[in-house]
Chains A and B, each alone.
Chain A
Amino acid sequence: GAVVSQHPSWVICKSGTSVKIECRSLDFQATTMFWYRQFPKQSLMLMATSNEGSKATYEQGVEKDKFLINHASLTLSTLTVTSAHPEDSSFYICSAREGGQRETQYFGPGTRLLVL
């Protein structure tokens, strides 16, 4: 089956540093990748949608300059949280969709970010 990996699974950093999270589709080509954020006891919140080779589409309220998304290849998307602050501490989950399969999203295992 389709597998999506995320790296790292856990990251603890100091306030003001930048953190990069990778999302990879291991056995399929992901033309579209989605980045979600989930705070404790809340549902998934879509942050942005990225299509390979083009700029990401950000949801309302999500700062483009703070959450940099790059989808340079059909198997890799990265989310960089720039100048992270404690309020950015959250569970970040990516999902990937194969070209032509618009109904199906495969989720990565998530990355837990703790900013001290």
Chain B
Amino acid sequence: GQNIDQPTEMTATEGAIVQINCTYQTSGFNGLFWYQQHAGEAPTFLSYNVLDGLEEKGRFSSFLSRSKGYSYLLLKELQMKDSASYLCAAMDSNYQLIWGAGTKLIIKP
């Protein structure tokens, strides 16, 4: 079957770095997405990886290892506004997104 695993909740301190891990199993693979979702709002796109390696975009970076079925989202210089749920989603061979349950990130001052 198809499955996405990510931690349910993480806590970090303002100004610090946090890494949110995601493992996936899909029928075929066409890329790994990370989305940010604030409470009561729709998800917003953060990153897309289809090749192995690290993609950096400002304070956020995303890593992919296709052989391991593993990705992480790295957030640096955490700000209070980064408190949100972070959704990992893998795209299968039919270009359908398979969603993880999301990681709720709590930032403490």
Contacts and interface: CB of A to CB of B under 8 A. Distances in A.
Contact of B42 (A43, A102, A104, A107): A107
Q: How large is the interface on A (under 10, 10 to 19, 20 to 34, 35 or more residues)?
A: 10 to 19
Contact of B41 (A49, A103, A110): A110
For the residues of B in contact with A, the DSSP-based class is: loop
Given A108-B42, A109-B41, A110-B41, A103 B99 contact: no
B43 A46 contact: no
Chain A interface helix/strand/loop/mixed: loop
Interface stretch (B54-62, B76-84, B90-98): B90-98
Contacts of A91: 40
B95 A46 contact: no
A78 B95 CA distance: 22
Nearest to B30: A103
Given A44-B43, A93-B42, A103 B91 contact: yes
Interface string B34-61: 0000001111110010100000000000
A112 interface: yes
A43 B87 CA distance: 8
A57 B95 CA distance: 14
13 contacts: A43-B102, A44-B43, A46-B96, A93-B42, A102-B95, A103-B31, A103-B95, A104-B48, A107-B43, A107-B45, A110-B40, A110-B41, A112-B40
